[in-house]
Amino acid sequence: MSVIDAEPVAKASAIPYENRRTFAIISHPDAGKTTLTEKLLLSGGAIRAAGQVRARGERRRARSDWMKIEQERGISVSSSVMTFERDGIVFNLLDTPGHEDFSEDTYRTLTAVDAAIMVIDAAKGIEAQTRKLFEVCRLRDIPIITFVNKIDREGRHPLEALDEIQEALALDVTPMTWPVGMGSDFFGVYDWKNKLFRTSSGDRGGPFDTVKPVTGLDDEQLTGVVFDRVMEELTENVELGSEAYPEFDREAFLEGHMTPVFFGSALRDYGIDEVISFIARHGPSPHSQPATGRRILPGEDKVSGFVFKVQANMDPKHRDRIAFVRLCSGTFKRGMKLKHVRASKQIAVTAPIFFFAEEREIAETAYPGDVIGIPNHGQLRVGDTLTEGEDIHVTGLPAFAPEVLRRVRLSDTMRVKQMRQGLEDLAEEGLVQIFKPAIGSNWIVGVVGVLQLDVVVERLRQEYSTEIGFDAVQYNTARWVEADDDLVLKKFLEANRVNVANDRDDKPVFLFKSAWEVNYISEKNPDIRFRETREIV
């Protein structure tokens, strides 16, 4: 369905990267991310019928926790990156993994986007997962567009919703639309800036299909159909809203200080067009990327990009992987040779993949902001940088200290090689971290949430035919250790061999029994830095 665009989108520019919008949707489970994704894709003509993305949401809910992630993974590959085009703008929607547990994978996906849509359930407000993901966006100053969903149901008062966002997230909010009634009184959405009433030609609250330009809140097209009590409330909201909240300020939005708020119903199509037109018009286009020594600008001639995600074992028969590369600069052409900076090797990218919703296609050309999938056999890892020759590393993809540690127990000691390979691969995907203790041979795995442990057991069983279990350890967190003086570090590590392990890249970590111990040992060793995150280079 096409609707009038009151705010014309940015004109298709001659510089393709300026027409790229690379974004993610963040939300708490059930707020409506899947429904919104589906509607956004439909609005861009990327999927033919509603239901393809939805099927995923349904499957997900029907299962036990690990199954949920496991099965989701099976189809998440093709939907990890969804590209669609509308009015000359190319949208790259990156799927943030849907697990309840925050994982590094989620964080890394957010390193590859330029903006995020935060979906909030109108009745529930800001929930735990939304807040966590929001904090990640804030860390990276990612501009956020807020979508208050499910206004066709009974929800909180719109002003209350706005205040909650403002207070809970310490952000300026600016309402872009207002709900015209909610729940059983739901009539549609009022776009107060452009004076448009978006409603249904059918029953009250039915699917959105009509845009009525109006002269104002006293227009007969509104007052003639909408209940008086709903009109009174709408008028009051618009009046109070214009006094209480600042005007939309593009700069503040792009800097991540202000969030425009759209009210809508993903299920009934309200608000989708406003959001997509807003992103098209107000950007942001691909940002510059922090790297060692300098920032990489999207307008640079030479191609560069970084791996933000690796998906292993898409086909269990072949140990193939896909590295998802976000392009930072230049114009990428299929067949190009790029330098894999960490390995100091050239790689020919002969079969890059573009992701169009459910299908995969071979990419011929890609621009900054785009994501390409590069099939490989394990050479490419998360954090790797690809360039046309320059020795530069993209920065800002940290590893996080795990909050749950367990020792790996192997049932059949003949399978130690498979187990290690499996754990290395899963660590590569960001599902677990592995630590190799200085004393003893059993690896310790670290995760951010316990749910991930079940997934590890299950995937090792299915993909590596290896049964493992986990034993409790006395540790509950880890810190990467560093010192300016190598000798000081060496002495410290030697004196503490019992509590020391190496991570996957042979970087030393200290395993702690408690938060108290972290403080105590840090105070006693002022020359040593105990870090909660480690930059992957």
Amino acid at 214: V
Q: Which is nearer to ligand G4P, 118 or 214 (CB)?
A: 118
Rounded to a whole number of angstroms, the minimum distance from the CB of residue 510 to ligand G4P is 38
Q: Which is nearer to ligand G4P, 31 or 327 (CB)?
A: 31
Instruction: Give me the helix-helix angle, 272-282 and 33-43, nearest 10°.
Output: 70
Q: Are 449 and 437 in contact (CB under 8 A)?
A: no
Rounded to a whole number of angstroms, the minimum distance from the CB of residue 284 to ligand G4P is 24
Q: Which is nearer to ligand G4P, 198 or 381 (CB)?
A: 198
Residue ranges for the binding site for GTP?
27-34, 95-99
Q: Are 325 and 386 in contact (CB under 8 A)?
A: yes
Binding site for ligand G4P (CB under 6 A): 27, 29-35, 54, 57-58, 149-150, 152-153, 265-267
Distance, first Cα to last Cα, the chain: 47
Rounded to a whole number of angstroms, the minimum distance from the CB of residue 491 to ligand G4P is 51
Contacts of 504 (CB under 8 A, 6+ apart): 424, 427, 433, 434
Report the alpha-carbon distance of residue 430 to residue 140 in Å, rounded.
19
- Phi (first) and psi of residue 299, to 5 degrees: -80, 0
Residue bearing tokens 């020759």: 389
Contacts of 35 (CB under 8 A, 6+ apart): 54, 57, 149, 266, 267
Q: Are 372 and 352 in contact (CB under 8 A)?
A: yes
- Phi (first) and psi of residue 456, to 5 degrees: -60, -50
Report the alpha-carbon distance of residue 504 to residue 305 in Å, rounded.
23
Burial of 297 (0-12, 13-18, 19+ CB in 10 A): middle
Rounded to a whole number of angstroms, the minimum distance from the CB of residue 57 to ligand G4P is 3
Q: Which is nearer to ligand G4P, 32 or 286 (CB)?
A: 32
Rounded to a whole number of angstroms, the minimum distance from the CB of residue 151 to ligand G4P is 7
Q: Which is nearer to ligand G4P, 207 or 290 (CB)?
A: 207
Sign, CA torsion 15/17/20/21: negative
Residue bearing tokens 């008028």: 235
Rounded to a whole number of angstroms, the minimum distance from the CB of residue 37 to ligand G4P is 7
Q: Which is nearer to ligand G4P, 52 or 304 (CB)?
A: 52
Rounded to a whole number of angstroms, the minimum distance from the CB of residue 188 to ligand G4P is 13
Q: Which is nearer to ligand G4P, 32 or 446 (CB)?
A: 32
Residue ranges for the binding site?
27-34, 95-99
Q: Which is nearer to ligand G4P, 152 or 503 (CB)?
A: 152
The tokens describing 455, both together, are 């997934």
Q: Which is nearer to ligand G4P, 20 or 68 (CB)?
A: 68
Report the alpha-carbon distance of residue 289 to residue 112 in Å, rounded.
10
Report the alpha-carbon distance of residue 220 to residue 391 in Å, rounded.
65
Rounded to a whole number of angstroms, the minimum distance from the CB of residue 271 to ligand G4P is 9
Amino acid at 301: D
Report the alpha-carbon distance of residue 372 to residue 331 in Å, rounded.
12
Rounded to a whole number of angstroms, the minimum distance from the CB of residue 29 to ligand G4P is 4
Distance of CA 156 to CAs 36, 162, 232, 346, Å? 20, 10, 17, 56
Q: Which is nearer to ligand G4P, 46 or 266 (CB)?
A: 266
Rounded to a whole number of angstroms, the minimum distance from the CB of residue 139 to ligand G4P is 22
Q: Are 395 and 537 in contact (CB under 8 A)?
A: yes
Distance of CA 84 to CAs 70, 176, 305, 361, Å? 27, 24, 21, 13
Q: Which is nearer to ligand G4P, 150 or 479 (CB)?
A: 150
Q: Which is nearer to ligand G4P, 32 or 241 (CB)?
A: 32
Rounded to a whole number of angstroms, the minimum distance from the CB of residue 153 to ligand G4P is 5
Q: Are 188 and 208 in contact (CB under 8 A)?
A: yes
Q: Which residues pair with 502 in a beta bridge?
A: 436, 508
Report the alpha-carbon distance of residue 2 to residue 86 in Å, rounded.
11
Give the distance, in angstroms, between the CA of residue 438 and the centroid of all CA atoms in the same chain. 35
Rounded to a whole number of angstroms, the minimum distance from the CB of residue 77 to ligand G4P is 18
The tokens describing 296, both together, are 């990489």
Give the distance, in angstroms, between the CA of residue 226 and the centroid of all CA atoms in the same chain. 39
